[in-house]
Structure 1
Amino acid sequence: MRKDPDDDLATALPPSLTVDLHLPEPVHEAPPEEEAVALDAIAVTSDVDSAVSTMSIDIPTAVVAAIPDVDEEVAEPTVVVPLPEHPETPVPAAAPAPKRTKAAKPLKPGRKPAPEGSWPELVYAVSLHLVNLGDSAPVRARKALDARIARRFDDRPRFVPVLSRKGGVGKTTVTVLLGMALADVRGDRVLAIDANPDRGTLADRVTKQTRSTVRDIVLHAPELNEFDELSTHVSHDASGLDVAASDTDPLLSEAFDDGGYNVVADVVSPHYGLVVTDSGTGVVHSVMRATLQRADAVVVVSGGSIDEARLASETLTWLEANNYGDLVANAVVALNASTQGTDLDKLHDIEDHFRSRVRAVVRIPYDPELAAGSVVRYEALRPFTRDSARQLAALVVDGLPGEGE
């Protein structure tokens, strides 16, 4: 039997053979329609081109056996070799786009906004938005009070000292309540300064975030041109109120006088719209002179007993005798109805007395959140207490001079 020469060739070859194929560099010719705008010839070499121009491919023996003898003249074979498949590199998932707050749809001309309040909201929903009763009476009252508290002023800040001739009547508590009620609604910054010449406790009524005091603000005044620099010396309450503490050392606190208060007031003026000052007990110390000279309105704090009310009335008399009669006529009395010795039967008589001398009187009720004597959480106050603080804030803002005054 005659052996096929191809069988001998296949037997003589190894199981696999490596053949180097040198393919010509791919040439890109621009189509006719691109010639007019084609750039100059630029040599570009990509990783794929390099891999194709020179590569080593393992060809099985059976394929080699089918190739004609090299001595014969044959047309150049066209070998189609599939490239190995590469696993696709996973593309990292794009970070989710931040949620965009949906803008409120503009109201159609003549159409009122959706009402607030249980009954108006129910009627509005049941009627498929066809019947709009408007806000309920409590909601209208709340919005009106917010508008009064949020009244804006010009670039000059407004100063409001809180005064008392007797300790223990809740002057610091009233300062905190007033500051929180203002800061919770207003769009500008509100600061409470502890200007007590003795060791004040205003900073103890908020969460402390710094050990700095008004003394540090005085010492670093030339460096505190920007708010970020000043903010490191005050504590920031959740309601939005900022607090500048007094000195904790009674010996050093004596150095905080009218000059020191004026320096602090000048430093904070460019950054705050309203400054409430806890003036300390009494009215004859040096800081009181500086606070009254800058005051746009005053709040006088009285306890609920006859003796405490008498001392508060004497404070008004002292102000009138020292040429501050305009402040007395525009003053608001905060009547703390939770002090020791409060005579509930006499509260109406006390209120009537002060209404005859000042512009308004606000009664501050007992509240466990205030009675603790520690950090005051504005959101934890009883509704009536919070409403009293808001009434006090609105009355104070009502009496502040407007733009250009």
Structure 2
Amino acid sequence: MPLAPPAADPRAPRPALRLPRFGAARREAQERLERLRAPLPHSRRLTLVGAYHYSGRATTTMLLGSVLAAVRGEPVLALDGSASEGSLDAFLTDRNPAVVRDLGVLSSTPAYEEIRARTTRLPSGLEVVAHRRGHFSPNPAHQQEYVHVLAQTAPYYPFVLTDWSPLRLDRSADVVLDHTDRLILCCGTADWFLDAAVRMLTLVRGGGREDLARRALVVATELDGPSGRSLPDTFARRLRVEPDQVVHVPFDAALQSPGWELHRLRPATTQALLRLADLVTRED
């Protein structure tokens, strides 16, 4: 039976996406929008990791979640995945004070309204559960609570995006990786970013998750300004993924502030995000 998330409020405005205006690019974007609106048979668990500091990982988490929620017209959930670090709070204003642990202590079968009361909802429809800002001690029950949260939210959210803040993929990441349907690795476009991305996927493979690494999506974002250059032909081969698993996101000045809005993104940025969203919905 297809997933049946809560019905969207028909009165709630959806953010407009800036699509290419003409030609094949316009038709391609519209075709992707149609595919993205198709029902899903089950909730997809997406984990986003960064190859290095300032790799665009948290921004990509919020962007991808916002695009999926806005296009589908149904709630999508994003949450901080680490026990002791978080990045999503920086994107929230007037946030709900609840944290991931507040979801973890709910019953095994909470109503959607109980979960919604503990999330911060963005205009796109993306719902976020973030760690509080600042330093805090790891919650020793985090791993059990994280698995509990995934089970609780699966009936209501077609996509659950986990933002993994630490650069390390040590044993503390095992529970997140073990409950990941699709890994998304974020990096810049410079050569040293590629080296870091290769090391990250090597760690994933070395942990016995060859299939997760093989199917990983790689988001290469121009972070410091427009380069005008394409990614090198060897980019995907060095990462040991297929070329169509790499999404190149152009520089967009609108993303320099955490207060970006979907309708202000360049059409080329929106195109790249729609392609990424299309890839995470595919069964393969």
Please tell me the TM-score bracket, short chain as reference: 0.7 to 0.9
Is 1:162 aligned with 2:62? Answer: no
Residue matched to 1:25: none
Residue matched to 1:142: 29
- So what's the TM-score if we normalise by structure 2? 0.82
Residues 332 and 360 in structure 1, CA contact (< 8 A), matched pair in contact too: yes
1:281 Cα deviation after fit: 2.2
The residue type paired with residue 52 of structure 2 is: K
Match of 1:189 among 50, 65, 75: 75
1:277 Cα deviation after fit: 0.8
> Alpha-carbon deviations, 1:290-310, whole Å to 9, x = none?
121111111111122222211
Residues 108 and 148 in structure 2, CA contact (< 8 A), matched pair in contact too: no
Residue matched to 1:229: 114
Which is higher, the Rg of structure 1 or of structure 2?
Answer: 1
CA distance in 2, matches of 1:138, 1:283: 38
Match of 1:363 among 248, 251, 259: 248
Q: Which runs of structure 2 are paired with 1:203-214 in the superposition (5 Å)?
A: 203-214=89-100
1:224 Cα deviation after fit: 6.9
Residues 159 and 276 in structure 1, CA contact (< 8 A), matched pair in contact too: yes
1:137 Cα deviation after fit: 4.1
Change (3 A) 1:167 1:203: same
Change (3 A) 1:328 1:339: farther
Residues 204 and 210 in structure 2, CA contact (< 8 A), matched pair in contact too: yes
Change (3 A) 1:344 1:313: farther
1:142 Cα deviation after fit: 2.4
Match of 2:278 among 391, 394, 402: 394
> Alpha-carbon deviations, 1:229-264, whole Å to 9, x = none?
111111111111111112334224454632231122
Residue matched to 2:219: 334
Q: Which runs of structure 2 are paired with 1:317-328 in the superposition (5 Å)?
A: 317-328=202-213
Residue matched to 2:39: 152
Change (3 A) 1:347 1:151: same
The residue type paired with residue 149 of structure 1 is: L
Other structure's SS at 1:347 match: coil
1:344 Cα deviation after fit: 6.5
Query: Structure 1: where are the runs of 5+ without partners?
Result: 1-116, 120-135
Residue matched to 1:312: 197
1:339 Cα deviation after fit: 4.4
Other structure's SS at 2:29 match: helix
> Alpha-carbon deviations, 1:283-341, whole Å to 9, x = none?
4345521121111111111122222211111111122222211122221100011148x
Q: CA RMSD in A?
A: 2.8
Is 1:176 aligned with 2:62? Answer: yes
1:274 Cα deviation after fit: 0.9
Residues 46 and 181 in structure 2, CA contact (< 8 A), matched pair in contact too: yes
The residue type paired with residue 205 of structure 1 is: F
Residues 302 and 309 in structure 1, CA contact (< 8 A), matched pair in contact too: yes
Change (3 A) 1:337 1:158: same
Identify the range of structure 1 (387-396 vs 221-230) with the bigger mean alpha-carbon deviation.
221-230
The residue type paired with residue 313 of structure 1 is: V
Residue matched to 1:200: 86
CA distance in 2, matches of 1:213, 1:225: 16
How many residue pairs were aligned?
264
CA distance in 2, matches of 1:357, 1:280: 23
Other structure's SS at 2:273 match: helix
Residues 194 and 235 in structure 2, CA contact (< 8 A), matched pair in contact too: no
CA distance in 1, matches of 2:189, 2:141: 31
CA distance in 1, matches of 2:227, 2:234: 10
Change (3 A) 1:217 1:308: same
The residue type paired with residue 80 of structure 2 is: D
Change (3 A) 1:368 1:198: farther
1:375 Cα deviation after fit: 2.3
The residue type paired with residue 191 of structure 2 is: I
Match of 1:378 among 215, 237, 262: 262
Change (3 A) 1:151 1:322: farther
Residues 161 and 292 in structure 1, CA contact (< 8 A), matched pair in contact too: yes
Q: Which runs of structure 2 are paired with 1:267-286 in the superposition (5 Å)?
A: 267-286=152-171
Other structure's SS at 1:281 match: coil
Query: Structure 2: where are the runs of 5+ without partners?
Result: 1-19
